[in-house]
Amino acid sequence: MLLDHDVLIDAGTGVGELTLSELKAIDHVFLTHSHLDHVATIPFVLDTVGQMRDRPLIVHGLPATIDALRTHIFNWKIWPDFTEIPSHEAPYLRFETIAVGETKELDGGRRITALPANHVVPAVGYHLDSGAGSLVYTGDTTANPALWPLLNAIENLRCLIIECAFSNGERDLAKVAKHLCPSMLAGELRQLKHKVDVYITHLKAGEAESTMAEIEAEAASYAPRMLQNGQVITF
């Protein structure tokens, strides 16, 4: 997800749809967790535009997420360590840790706060606050009781992007993989006290329409919609 023109929330394969000038403008990447579908394009972004920029790309994440990137990707075996390229003093990449509940303040009065998630690896969601309104992205998560009191306390909450990776027929797999299925999603949404726009993400290719039909049946009162590639949300 591209926030304004300069911030990515996660960096999966969709980043490949951005133009060279759009990639060059990205200053921050906020990662929810270390799984490949959320970090895959960071190495390629650095390799493509690192030399075009006058400052490092800052990647924010939990300590465990950053440790996974250092150990398994930027290790000179899978990919060069861009925190050392072209030099320690002026690298293309810089890591910054973030903790659950911590807020990073960016220019323009924007605030990004890490929210709790419940996944098979350490993970967070994010509360994006423009000052005028807020959007929450849950990241990958299963049932997550810690999240909803925090969402209900956001007075200017306008949008919720929440995952649903499996169909109801795969409920047991959803529990093991710590994702949601439509019946579980409906149970989560029932804890939401705000009336907001609800968008569904992380639907499996080939099952998106059938899973959305189950979601619409289970959670019709929340008017959930499938998040679309290229969709623009203003808040």
pLDDT, tens only, 181-202: 999 999 999 999 999 999 999 9
- Are residues 140 and 32 in contact, defined by beta-carbon separation less than 8 angstroms? yes
Topology of domain 99-235 in CATH is Metallo-beta-lactamase; Chain A (3.60.15)
Q: Which long-range contacts (CB under 8 A, 24 or more apart) does 150-158 make?
A: 150/115, 150/116, 151/115, 151/192, 151/194, 152/191, 152/192, 152/193, 152/194, 154/127, 154/129, 154/194, 156/129, 156/132, 157/133, 157/194, 157/196, 158/133, 158/134, 158/196, 158/197, 158/235
Q: What is the pLDDT of residue 138?
A: 98
Q: What is the pLDDT of residue 77?
A: 98
Overall pTM surpassing 0.75 (yes/no): yes
Dihedral sign computed on CA atoms, order 42, 70, 32, 150: negative
Examine domains 1-98 and 99-235 and report if their fold is the same.
yes
Structure tokens that stand for 28 in this block: 């921050």
- Are residues 7 and 38 in contact, defined by beta-carbon separation less than 8 angstroms? no
At 133-180, the pLDDT tens digits run 999 999 999 999 999 999 999 999 999 999 999 999 999 999 999 999
CATH architecture of 1-98: 4-Layer Sandwich (3.60)
- Helices and strands in the chain, H and E counts: 8, 12
At 32-83, the pLDDT tens digits run 999 999 999 999 999 999 999 999 999 999 999 999 999 999 999 999 999 9
- Domain ranges, ordered by start, for the chain: 1-98, 99-235
